[in-house]
Structure 1
Amino acid sequence: MIQAHAVRLFTERGYDATTVTEVAEAAGVSPMTVYRHFPTKEDLVLVDQHGQLVAERIAASPAAHPLVRRIGGALIGSAATLTGDDLTTDKQFLLARLRLMISTPALRARHLDNQYAFQQAIVEALGDDDTDPDAAFHAQAAASACLAALHTALVRWAEDEGRTELPALIAKALAAAFGDDMVEGGPVAAGDQPRG
């Protein structure tokens, strides 16, 4: 609830022009309560459960599959969960958060920190032998590359106001980076046909 009020106020008034005290007033709580749940102003926009959802999906995926397929499938699946047809309000909230992240310099800088933490969560979820430097390097490279494709898809999704389905955009970005057969079952983007 606090985060929803924060995103609404940041969108209406601007991120820099809105104080944490104003967010607390709108949410009907004290500023200390806000800080207890969101230690920084940036956290009011950036904190979410997406990383945990992706990590759970990766951990549940078959370990024999290629790293990119495991990570990409989890990114696509979690996006489908977060933006499903019956979640219009959640979809609008995600779009508003994403627009703030893209347009606000302080949030863009902090987002890079979050991306590193997200990458580490993915690497841990893969469950590879972290004592093997090569395996760790491969996992980090795969996670980083997949997150770059995710970022590209998220920016496009925000630019087109969420009209394109986010899972399809993520699949398209991953296919552009890694090939059409990146996801189990063939082409990843809805409506794509296998090529030659």
Structure 2
Amino acid sequence: MEDRLSRLPLRERKKLRTRRAIQDHALRLFSEHGYDATTVEQIAAAAEISPSTFFRYFPTKEDVVVTDEYDPIMAEVIRDQPPELTPLDALRAMLREMLPQLYADDLEVIRMRLQLTADVPALRARTFESMRGTFELLSEAIGERTGRAADDSDVEAFSWAVLGVMQAALYRLIDGKVTYEELPDLLDRNLDFLARGCPL
């Protein structure tokens, strides 16, 4: 994944480094003092930026937890899969490529973000809202692979269905029903369940 990020223009790489630094300071403060007790001003001071700079990178305090660079990379990896793969197989290939890299590079950050999302109602609500952006990127990538418009009804239904089975796996992780080590297999099983028409 770092290789893909390194292809970004220099300006975008600098913005990404700043965004990550702000997020690292925020997560540390949330861990030390709690989410609700930590202010944007405290995060900005720790990151040695002004509050106005914080809001240029993150529109709300919730966004410093729910925002990451994964979605555009996910869409790029899906686009890069061989054209003969079905959309679901392209998604599976994307997960096989991305998850090991995410675990290697960002596992502790992912753990902290998911735990905060589980514990803070405002973050759960914001995470649900942010899924719209993920949905739009996924629909664009699937639309390109299938020769359809991103807002095609079938493409949109497929994209929401995929996000649904992936969220189901993540919530089992948050609820302690599976481990991080078991998550990749569960995601694959959920996508297979979707491919088979969700038989019950």
Distance 1:50-1:25 versus aligned 2 partners, 3 A rule: same
Instruction: Say which structure is richer in helix.
Output: 2
Aligned to 2:27: 7
1:75 aligns with 2:95: yes
CA offsets per residue over residues 13-43 of structure 1, 9 Å max, x none? 2222211011112222221221121121111
Choose 17-26 or 159-168, whichever is displaced more. 159-168
Matching residue within 61, 64, 67 for 2:81? 61
Q: CA deviation at 1:137?
A: 2.0
1:119/1:147 contact within 8 Å kept: yes
1:147 and 1:101 map into 2 onto residues whose CA distance is 17
2:172 and 2:89 map into 1 onto residues whose CA distance is 22
Instruction: Report the residue type matching 1:24 in the other structure.
Output: A
1:175 aligns with 2:195: no
CA offsets per residue over residues 114-147 of structure 1, 9 Å max, x none? 111101101111213218x7xx222222221221
Choose 153-162 or 16-25, whichever is displaced more. 153-162
Instruction: Report the residue type matching 1:138 in the other structure.
Output: D
CA offsets per residue over residues 29-76 of structure 1, 9 Å max, x none? 221221121121111111101101110011112334322222233234
Aligned to 1:44: 64
1:53 and 1:11 map into 2 onto residues whose CA distance is 28
1:157/1:169 contact within 8 Å kept: no
Q: CA deviation at 1:93?
A: 0.7
1:117 aligns with 2:136: no
1:129 aligns with 2:129: no
Choose 8-17 or 92-101, whichever is displaced more. 8-17
TM-score, with length taken from structure 2: 0.75
2:163 and 2:189 map into 1 onto residues whose CA distance is 13
- Percent of paired sites with the same residue: 34
TM-score, with length taken from structure 1: 0.77
5+ residue gaps in structure 2? 1-20
Instruction: Report the residue type matching 1:82 in the other structure.
Output: L
Structure with bigger RCO (C-alpha 8 Å, 6+ apart): 1
Aligned to 2:12: none
1:33 and 1:56 map into 2 onto residues whose CA distance is 29
Matching residue within 171, 183, 194 for 1:155? 171
Q: CA deviation at 1:155?
A: 2.7
Matching residue within 107, 114, 117 for 1:98? 114
